[in-house]
Amino acid sequence: MPLVQQLSETRALVVGGTAGIGFSCAKRLIEADVAHIVIAGRNAERGAKAADLLGERVTYMQCDASDPAQTVALAGQANASMGGIDLLLSCGGGDPMPSLLHKIAPQDLIPTINDIQAPILQPAHAVLPYMTGQGGGTVLCMASDAGKLATPGESAIGAAMASIAMFCRTMAIEAKRHGIRVNCLTPSIVSGTPLYDKLMKHEFAGKLFGKAEKMAALGIVTPEDIAEMVVFLASPASSKTTGQTISITGGISAI
């Protein structure tokens, strides 16, 4: 049986941890007494500021996770810096606006899908050798419920999110023999983020998600809600949970 890592012993890499959901998750992990966190993102100024706000147990490393070479280098640097990687939270994907399929230019369709999925999947692939070598680890990837529930305007987005979920399920099956757990989180609309403000100001997306909000009988999800689930999935309390795609939507969907 793999050694179950206590949060106080956990070394975490949060890709996309310089703002939004990723930052909130990094903050909550620090509050949960995680030993050390490397946060990664493209913007060096924002990253340095985020690391300063999070405290001395946090280091910022610059990386564009859509670039395979940069992502491999990041995993190596984070592993060397912390002496291992016990937890990866990959939430640095692109945030395109919803658009009806007939309005997407042919040359933009596949790049749009890749812009969403590549920055999420490549970090998971990059940390696999390190987690395998140390005999265990936890991988958490962020997608959305667009990958589960067909919604007008989210054909490309849904295709990318579904691929992330299936990647995680298959990685979980392959990696369990090495003590590695892999799960996927799929929120819908998340308030209190720069993306939320952008979506609600957009003519089409604002109507789409305005209707969705009315279905959230349990309340609109916040980054802090997602962060609580991340802490649970990173902890020994979830040591038997892998290959799951977990909706956090406040009741917008029940799938």
How far apart, in whole angstroms, are the C-alpha atoms of residue 201 and residue 4?
Answer: 44
pTM: 0.94
Q: Identify the bridge partners of residue 138 per DSSP, sorted by sequence position.
A: 87, 181
Residues in the chain: 255
pLDDT in tens, 179-233: 999 999 999 888 888 887 888 887 887 788 788 788 888 898 899 999 999 999 9
CA pseudo-torsion sign 38, 39, 44, 47: negative
How far apart, in whole angstroms, are the C-alpha atoms of residue 199 and residue 204?
Answer: 9
Q: How far apart are the first and last CA of the chain?
A: 31
Nearest residue to 113 (alpha-carbon basis) of 186, 162, 170, 40: 162
pLDDT for the residue numbered 74: 98
Angle between helices 203-214 and 194-201 (to 10 degrees): 110
Residue 118 CB partners (closer than 8 Å, separation 6+): 65, 66, 93
pLDDT in tens, 51-100: 999 999 999 999 999 999 999 999 999 999 999 999 999 999 888 889 99
- Tell me the pLDDT band of 1, cut-offs 50, 70 and 90: very low
pLDDT > 60? residue 2: no
Q: 3-class SS at 37?
A: strand
Residue for token digits 């962020």? 142
Fold type of domain 7-190+223-246? Rossmann fold (3.40.50)
pLDDT > 80? residue 4: no
- Tell me the pLDDT band of 151, cut-offs 50, 70 and 90: confident
pLDDT in tens, 155-171: 999 999 999 999 999 99
Q: Identify the bridge partners of residue 11 per DSSP, sorted by sequence position.
A: 36
Domain ranges of the chain: 7-190+223-246
The rounded percent of the chain whose pLDDT value lies above 90 is 76
H/E run at residue 180:
strand 180-187
- Tell me the pLDDT band of 178, cut-offs 50, 70 and 90: very high
Q: 3-class SS at 204?
A: helix
Output 105 or 253, whichever has higher pLDDT: 105
